[in-house]
Amino acid sequence: MITNFEQLEQDMASTPSFDGQLAKLVHLTNSNGMSVSFMDIGATWLSCSIPVNEEAREVLLRSPNMAEHMEQNAYFGAIVGRFANRIAKGQFELEGKRYQLGVNNGENSLHGGVEGFDKKRWSIVEQSAQKVVFTLHTKDGDQGYPGNLGVKVTYSLTDDNQVSISYEANTDKTCPVNLTNHAYFNLAGEASGSKSLDHVLQLSSGHYLPTDQGLIPTGEIKAVKDTSFDFSHAKLIGRDFLTESDQKMAGGYDHAFVFQPEVTDGESVAAVLVAPAKEVVMKVKTTKPAIQFYSGNFLAGTPGKSKNYELYDGLCLETQYFPDGPNKPEWGANRGLLKSGELYQHQTVYQFEF
């Protein structure tokens, strides 16, 4: 019988990627029978298999093969950057200079632009049974961003079923830097047919960022109380779905939720996702000030591992700075600017209970 990792190798590492070379895959396992797989293209989290009722359950969405992976614009499992999420019109001003980024989402720049970190080949610099370290260097001017940037991303799988993602970066010029992982979760299983709307979500957040038609934050930091965005207590995602104009513009949830500051210590539980049948729970811990909760509103027709995905077949919980931060000086430290000589250092943990 073919193993999950052998299947991944066949699907993702048997035909050339963007640069004409084959992808390199890394497989980590822990003592509980949980396994996670990554590839050097995009430092992508390809697979997360957990044992549920003595059966391996894949809880991440992905492309069926490398050819489709290169065509998709869902960013399945990739590290996205330099700046995750949207920057209005792909423009910002820093230290008196105007910068123009590649525009790839309507009139805006999304997830680093036309050739973001998701499309680049990262170097695997360290690897063991339960850890892998990827690095990437991008030059001053790449995709329009200032500064030579060095990035290091470390994935670890612990014996208490935590997938830990540690981020480091440094630059020689002040630059917007906002790194996240764009995994799509379906805790019922990638092929289950369950929807993001069937999951229960809790977010330690009292505010969210409303957006305009282009999904750029308006600048308002709005209280979730008495809105459909209130996940301060565990709630079925589908309960208040598409009930307000802020959601209808986005086709669902595709918004940044601002964490209560006390839960951004990297150790407190900031978000909890519960599978439809409640047999799997995922807890998120992070040092980031916000999380982009995206309910899978643009998935329709995207070729996936088990089928062509439909709307809401998976959801993302992307820890990050505030979207369009470079254009919102009033947001202060939450803008996501890294200065020369400073070290960007963040961690996000996805802990699975099953």
pLDDT digits (tens, 9 = 90+) for 324-353: 999 999 999 999 999 999 999 999 999 999
Say what percent of the chain tops pLDDT 90. 99
Q: How confident is the model at residue 255 (pLDDT cuts 50, 70, 90)?
A: very high
CB-CB neighbours of 350 under 10 Å:
25
Report the pLDDT value the prediction gives residue 188, as an integer from 0 to 100.
98
- List the domains of the chain with CATH numbers: 1-195+295-354 (2.70.98.10)
Report the pLDDT value the prediction gives residue 213, as an integer from 0 to 100.
95
Answer for the pair 255, 322: CB distance below 8 angstroms, yes or no.
Answer: no
pLDDT digits (tens, 9 = 90+) for 45-67: 999 999 999 999 999 999 999 99
pLDDT digits (tens, 9 = 90+) for 124-164: 999 999 999 999 999 999 999 999 999 999 999 999 999 99
Q: What is the mean pLDDT of residues 280-296?
A: 98
Say what percent of the chain tops pLDDT 70. 100
Report the pLDDT value the prediction gives residue 312, as an integer from 0 to 100.
98
How far is Cα of residue 317 from the mean position of the Cα atoms in its chain? 6
Residues contacting 206, CB < 8 A, separation 6+: 223, 224, 225, 232, 258, 260
Q: What is the mean pLDDT of residues 251-255?
A: 98
Give the mean pLDDT of the chain.
98
H helices within 51-197, ranges in order? 66-71
Q: What is the mean pLDDT of residues 278-296?
A: 98
- The partner residues of 207 in beta bridges, in order of sequence, read 223, 258
Report the pLDDT value the prediction gives residue 288, as an integer from 0 to 100.
98
What value, to the nearest 5°, has the Cα angle with vertex 187 and ends 118 and 8? 50
Tokens 């995009």: give the residue.
42
* CA distance linking residue 119 with residue 19, whole number of Å: 9
- Tell me how far CA of residue 339 lies from CA of 146, 265, 342, in angstroms: 11, 22, 6
pTM reported for the whole predicted model: 0.98
Identify which of 121, 216, 122 has the alpha carbon closest to the alpha carbon of residue 167: 122
Q: Is the dihedral of CA 40, 180, 82, 62 positive or negative?
A: positive
- The partner residues of 203 in beta bridges, in order of sequence, read 271
Q: What is the mean pLDDT of residues 98-121?
A: 98
Report the pLDDT value the prediction gives residue 1, as an integer from 0 to 100.
83
* CA distance linking residue 15 with residue 208, whole number of Å: 42
Look at residue 6 and tell me whether its pLDDT is greater than 90: yes
Residue numbers annotated as active site: 182, 318
How far is Cα of residue 64 from the mean position of the Cα atoms in its chain? 19
pLDDT digits (tens, 9 = 90+) for 25-45: 999 999 999 999 999 999 999
Answer for the pair 41, 68: CB distance below 8 angstroms, yes or no.
Answer: no
